[in-house]
Protein backbone atom coordinates (compact mmCIF):
# COMPACT_ATOMS: atom_id res chain seq x y z
CA UNK A 1 0.00 0.00 0.00
CA UNK A 2 1.25 3.46 -0.84
CA UNK A 3 1.22 5.49 2.33
CA UNK A 4 -0.96 8.60 2.27
CA UNK A 5 -0.21 11.72 4.28
CA UNK A 6 -3.34 11.29 6.38
CA UNK A 7 -3.10 8.18 8.61
CA UNK A 8 -6.91 7.96 8.69
CA UNK A 9 -6.92 7.38 4.91
CA UNK A 10 -4.35 4.60 5.29
CA UNK A 11 -6.55 2.90 7.86
CA UNK A 12 -9.60 3.18 5.59
CA UNK A 13 -7.65 1.68 2.68
CA UNK A 14 -6.56 -1.29 4.80
CA UNK A 15 -10.13 -1.86 6.05
CA UNK A 16 -11.57 -1.61 2.54
CA UNK A 17 -9.01 -4.07 1.18
CA UNK A 18 -9.85 -6.55 3.95
CA UNK A 19 -13.57 -6.31 3.16
CA UNK A 20 -12.91 -6.70 -0.56
CA UNK A 21 -10.78 -9.79 0.07
CA UNK A 22 -13.46 -11.30 2.30
CA UNK A 23 -16.17 -10.74 -0.33
CA UNK A 24 -14.17 -12.11 -3.26
CA UNK A 25 -13.17 -15.27 -1.37
CA UNK A 26 -16.81 -16.42 -1.66
CA UNK A 27 -16.64 -16.55 -5.45
CA UNK A 28 -14.37 -19.07 -7.17
CA UNK A 29 -14.31 -17.02 -10.38
CA UNK A 30 -13.23 -13.79 -8.66
CA UNK A 31 -9.54 -13.21 -8.05
CA UNK A 32 -7.77 -10.25 -6.52
CA UNK A 33 -4.52 -8.99 -7.92
CA UNK A 34 -2.34 -7.14 -5.49
CA UNK A 35 -1.37 -3.80 -6.97
CA UNK A 36 2.24 -2.81 -6.84
CA UNK A 37 3.48 -0.09 -4.52
CA UNK A 38 6.88 0.16 -6.18
CA UNK A 39 7.27 3.88 -6.90
CA UNK A 40 9.57 3.11 -9.85
CA UNK A 41 6.54 1.66 -11.67
CA UNK A 42 4.50 4.87 -11.43
CA UNK A 43 4.53 8.04 -13.51
CA UNK A 44 6.01 11.20 -12.04
CA UNK A 45 2.68 12.32 -10.57
CA UNK A 46 2.50 8.90 -8.77
CA UNK A 47 -1.15 8.38 -9.74
CA UNK A 48 -0.89 6.15 -12.81
CA UNK A 49 1.45 3.32 -13.71
CA UNK A 50 4.23 4.02 -16.19
CA UNK A 51 4.91 1.81 -19.22
CA UNK A 52 6.87 -0.79 -17.22
CA UNK A 53 4.24 -0.83 -14.45
CA UNK A 54 1.43 -1.33 -16.96
CA UNK A 55 3.32 -4.19 -18.57
CA UNK A 56 3.87 -5.94 -15.22
CA UNK A 57 0.25 -5.49 -14.13
CA UNK A 58 -1.16 -6.59 -17.50
CA UNK A 59 0.99 -9.74 -17.38
CA UNK A 60 -0.34 -10.53 -13.89
CA UNK A 61 -3.92 -10.04 -15.10
CA UNK A 62 -3.35 -12.31 -18.10
CA UNK A 63 -1.79 -14.97 -15.88
CA UNK A 64 -4.75 -14.90 -13.45
CA UNK A 65 -7.26 -15.06 -16.30
CA UNK A 66 -5.53 -17.99 -17.98
CA UNK A 67 -5.21 -19.87 -14.68
CA UNK A 68 -8.89 -19.26 -13.97
CA UNK A 69 -10.05 -20.40 -17.44
CA UNK A 70 -7.78 -23.45 -17.50
CA UNK A 71 -8.80 -24.60 -14.02
CA UNK A 72 -12.56 -24.52 -14.57
CA UNK A 73 -14.51 -27.55 -15.69
CA UNK A 74 -16.51 -26.87 -18.82
CA UNK A 75 -20.00 -28.39 -18.63
CA UNK A 76 -22.12 -29.59 -21.51
CA UNK A 77 -24.38 -26.93 -22.96
CA UNK A 78 -27.71 -28.10 -24.40
CA UNK A 79 -28.68 -26.04 -27.40
CA UNK A 80 -31.85 -26.32 -29.48
CA UNK A 81 -31.59 -25.96 -33.23
CA UNK A 82 -34.10 -25.94 -36.05
CA UNK A 83 -34.14 -28.05 -39.16
CA UNK A 84 -36.29 -26.40 -41.78
CA UNK A 85 -37.21 -28.30 -44.91
CA UNK A 86 -39.38 -27.70 -47.89
CA UNK A 87 -40.87 -30.56 -49.87
CA UNK A 88 -42.82 -30.53 -53.06
CA UNK A 89 -45.91 -32.71 -53.16
CA UNK A 90 -47.07 -34.74 -56.17
CA UNK A 91 -49.41 -31.93 -57.23
CA UNK A 92 -46.57 -29.38 -57.22
CA UNK A 93 -47.41 -27.57 -53.97
CA UNK A 94 -44.57 -26.68 -51.59
CA UNK A 95 -44.88 -27.74 -47.95
CA UNK A 96 -42.59 -26.38 -45.24
CA UNK A 97 -41.84 -28.10 -41.99
CA UNK A 98 -39.71 -27.17 -38.98
CA UNK A 99 -38.21 -29.65 -36.58
CA UNK A 100 -36.61 -28.57 -33.31
CA UNK A 101 -33.99 -30.86 -31.83
CA UNK A 102 -31.76 -30.65 -28.80
CA UNK A 103 -28.12 -31.55 -29.03
CA UNK A 104 -25.36 -31.52 -26.47
CA UNK A 105 -22.46 -29.25 -27.27
CA UNK A 106 -19.26 -29.53 -25.30
CA UNK A 107 -17.11 -26.45 -25.79
CA UNK A 108 -13.43 -27.20 -26.34
CA UNK A 109 -10.35 -25.22 -25.42
CA UNK A 110 -7.97 -24.23 -28.20
CA UNK A 111 -5.01 -21.96 -27.52
CA UNK A 112 -6.47 -21.05 -24.13
CA UNK A 113 -9.82 -19.97 -25.67
CA UNK A 114 -13.14 -21.78 -25.27
CA UNK A 115 -14.74 -22.61 -28.63
CA UNK A 116 -17.85 -24.45 -29.77
CA UNK A 117 -17.08 -27.51 -31.91
Report how far apart, in Å, the C-alpha atoms of 64 and of each of 19, 33, 47, 58 are. 21, 8, 24, 10
The length of the chain, given as a count of residues: 117
Q: pLDDT per position in the chain (117 positions), as tens?
A: 555 667 788 788 889 989 999 998 888 778 888 887 788 988 988 789 999 999 999 999 998 888 877 776 666 666 666 667 777 777 777 767 666 665 544 455 555 555 544
Beta strand 108-110 pairing with 113-115: antiparallel
The 10 Å Cβ neighbour count of residue 53 is: 18
Pairing of strands 108-110, 77-88: unpaired
Amino acid sequence: MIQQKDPHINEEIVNYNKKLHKITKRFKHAKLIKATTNRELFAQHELHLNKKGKEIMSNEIIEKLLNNVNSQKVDVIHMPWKIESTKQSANGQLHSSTQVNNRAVTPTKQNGKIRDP
